[in-house]
Amino acid sequence: MRARVTFNHCRLYDRDNAYAAAKPVIDALKHWSLIWDDSDEWLDLTVEQNKCPHKKRHTIIELEPA
């Protein structure tokens, strides 16, 4: 599977923290059987970020077959 997690928030994380912040999301996708496994063999993960006002923060999760 290919997954893209986009964090929209008022402060950008550095790259390693952005991927760490996505871990609970990826673990939930695995728990709900939306992805088979979170290893590199089974998941192509991209984490992106956008700035937005604090009260409009949200996360977008996109999944597609790889």
Q: What is the pLDDT of residues 29-66, one digit of tens each?
A: 999 999 999 999 999 999 999 999 999 999 999 999 98
Strands (E), 1-66: 2-9, 44-51, 58-64
pLDDT for the residue numbered 66? 86
Residue 63 pairs in a beta bridge with 3
pLDDT for the residue numbered 1? 95
Q: Which of 48, 24, 26, 21 is nearest to 37 (CA)?
A: 26
pLDDT for the residue numbered 4? 98
The predicted model gives 5-28 an average pLDDT of: 97
Residue 24 has pLDDT above 90, yes or no: yes
Residue 15 has pLDDT above 90, yes or no: yes
